[in-house]
């Protein structure tokens, strides 16, 4: 596999942002997904990188906006606006006030191009004071996907023409996950050490730094239990009994795990569905390699591709895209529904091996009015066919379907 760490999908998006907009760019995503590498892949020579975890850099943060402006040499005339990259700044309790003060004083009209990165969701994290509304746009960075491995450029259309991914490349992505280092090294020992260390950092550094949660061992147990419940309806009461905390604590911890990009929830689509489920969500992990069961990992793999596409299309300004699922009280279910601007667009049912077409696809396509309905099979070979050309329910290889997403 090509040893290419540069996040080719996102680089044009960031360049386009600064060619058009004055707002700060918030680059959000899990630990070690490649945010810092992406920021440093710009050819710009005039940039300042500050990381809250670096004690020397922390002194500059604490001195305030004027100290940062001095490091950027803003008192001197410059041919092009400098880049300011602020990494893990959300760990500073007063980060929002600092950013607002610097932006309003020194960068309001685009005099400085500011990128803020973080492994917590910067758009909702409440540790700061004043609001940053109107001063930033967000872009969510996901692990590598089939589409990103295959393409160096993304066309303007939402879906892409099918491209063949080699079986070995596809299998490695499914096995090692989409995080750059283990994916490109493809070494089992390295992967196990890397994965263990990443989880330790999540629970014993990030959660410690950003929350007041003390019961780290119990939270680790919750995370482990979630990896065994992929694709099933979440039962908060059952989880609470197993972890020995209250249901409300489970909900709060689930929010924290989502905040730190360990897991994400998808909710049932209710409109036009008679006797639809109303509440229980399903959970998936950002790192599908942590899911041991083959069928559950396959479903998580596709869920992650779909969520990445929804985030990318939304952040690019193509509309508001949501990932949901369908299930009613008669237990008719389809794994995923992609919604565009509150209108169902396409359905996806995931199978590990070839099976006859699920009747629930046709049922829910009629009920929702979705344009497409796909039964996606992991173990099928690639076919050079545009599956989005079909409006009736079809069986399609995951290698074909996922290659048409970002």
Q: What is the pLDDT of residue 125?
A: 56
Summarize pLDDT for 207-217 with one digit per residue, the tens.
988 888 999 99
**Helix or strand (DSSP H, E) at 343:** strand 343-351
Tell me what the mean pLDDT of segment 111-136 comes to.
Answer: 79
- In Å, how far are 300, 301, 363 from 269, measured between CA atoms? 19, 21, 14
Asked if 240 and 339 count as a contact pair (C-beta separation under 8 A), the reply is: no
% of the chain beyond a pLDDT of 70 = 96
Confidence of residue 380 (pLDDT cuts 50, 70, 90): very high
Most confident of the ranges 89-103, 162-176, 268-282: 162-176
Least confident interval from 57-61, 124-128, 188-192: 124-128
Q: What is the pLDDT of residue 4?
A: 54
Question: In the sheet that 282-285 helps form, which strands lie side by side, from edge to edge?
Answer: 282-285, 263-268, 321-327, 333-340, 343-351, 372-377, 394-397
> Quick check: 195 pLDDT over 90?
yes
Pairing verdict, β 372-377 and 394-397? parallel
Beta bridge partners of 170: none
Q: What is the pLDDT of residue 271?
A: 87
Q: What is the pLDDT of residue 40?
A: 81
Asked if 146 and 165 count as a contact pair (C-beta separation under 8 A), the reply is: yes
- In Å, how far are 81, 84, 244, 300 from 74, measured between CA atoms? 9, 11, 55, 47
Q: What is the pLDDT of residue 129?
A: 45
Confidence of residue 279 (pLDDT cuts 50, 70, 90): confident
Summarize pLDDT for 323-351 with one digit per residue, the tens.
999 999 888 999 999 999 999 999 999 99
Asked if 207 and 260 count as a contact pair (C-beta separation under 8 A), the reply is: yes
DSSP code at position 349: E
| Nearest CA-CA partner of 253 in 299, 202, 300 | 202
Q: What is the pLDDT of residue 126?
A: 47
Q: What is the pLDDT of residue 403?
A: 98
Q: pTM here?
A: 0.95
Alpha carbon distance 406, 400 (integer Å): 12
Tell me what the mean pLDDT of segment 126-133 comes to.
Answer: 61
Q: What is the pLDDT of residue 5?
A: 64
Q: What is the pLDDT of residue 346?
A: 99
Summarize pLDDT for 54-93 with one digit per residue, the tens.
999 999 999 999 999 999 999 999 999 999 999 999 999 9
Q: What is the pLDDT of residue 2?
A: 46
Confidence of residue 353 (pLDDT cuts 50, 70, 90): very high
Q: In this predicted model, which residue has the larger pLDDT, 278 or 36? A: 36
Q: Where are the domains of the chain?
A: 9-140, 146-404
> Quick check: 277 pLDDT over 70?
no
* CATH class entry, domain 9-140: alpha beta
> Quick check: 127 pLDDT over 50?
no
Mean pLDDT rounded to a whole number for the chain: 93
Summarize pLDDT for 1-55 with one digit per residue, the tens.
544 566 778 988 898 999 999 999 999 999 999 999 888 887 667 889 999 999 9
Confidence of residue 182 (pLDDT cuts 50, 70, 90): very high
């Amino acid at each position: 596999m090509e040893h290419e760490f540069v996040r080719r999908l996102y680089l044009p998006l960031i360049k386009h942002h600064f060619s058009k907009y004055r707002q700060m760019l918030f680059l959000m995503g899990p630990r070690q997904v490649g945010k810092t590498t992406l920021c440093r892949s710009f050819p710009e020579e005039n940039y300042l990188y500050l990381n809250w975890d670096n004690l020397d850099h922390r002194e500059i943060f604490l001195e305030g906006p004027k100290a940062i402006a001095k490091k950027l040499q803003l008192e001197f005339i410059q041919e092009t606006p400098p880049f300011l990259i602020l990494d893990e700044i959300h760990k500073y309790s007063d980060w929002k006030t600092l950013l607002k003060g610097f932006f309003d004083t020194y960068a309001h009209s685009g005099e400085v191009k500011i990128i803020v990165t973080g492994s917590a969701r910067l758009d909702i994290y409440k540790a700061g004071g004043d609001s940053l509304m109107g001063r930033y746009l967000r872009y969510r960075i996901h692990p590598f996907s089939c589409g990103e491995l295959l393409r160096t450029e993304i066309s303007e259309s939402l879906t892409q023409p099918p491209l063949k991914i080699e079986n070995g490349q596809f299998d490695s992505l499914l096995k090692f996950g989409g995080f750059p280092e283990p994916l490109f090294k493809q070494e089992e020992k390295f992967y196990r050490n890397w994965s263990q260390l990443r989880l330790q950092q999540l629970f014993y550094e990030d959660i410690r730094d950003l929350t007041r949660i003390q019961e780290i061992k119990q939270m680790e147990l919750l995370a482990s239990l979630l990896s065994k419940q992929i694709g099933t309806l979440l039962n908060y009461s059952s989880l609470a009994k197993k972890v020995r905390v209250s249901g409300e604590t489970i909900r709060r911890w689930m929010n924290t795990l989502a905040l730190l990009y360990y897991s994400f929830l998808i909710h049932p689509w209710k409109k036009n569905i008679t006797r639809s489920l109303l509440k229980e969500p399903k959970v998936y992990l950002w790192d599908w390699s942590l899911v041991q069961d083959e069928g559950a990992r396959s479903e998580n793999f596709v869920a992650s591709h779909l969520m990445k596409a929804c985030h990318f299309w939304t952040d690019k300004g193509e509309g508001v895209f949501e990932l949901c699922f369908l299930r009613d009280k008669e237990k008719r279910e389809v794994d995923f529904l992609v919604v565009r601007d509150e209108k169902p667009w396409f359905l996806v049912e995931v199978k590990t091996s070839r099976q006859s077409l699920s009747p629930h696809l046709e049922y829910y396509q009629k009920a929702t009015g979705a344009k497409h309905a796909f039964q996606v099979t992991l173990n099928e070979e690639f076919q050079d066919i545009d599956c989005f050309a079909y409006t009736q329910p079809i069986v399609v290889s995951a290698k074909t379907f996922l290659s048409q997403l970002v």
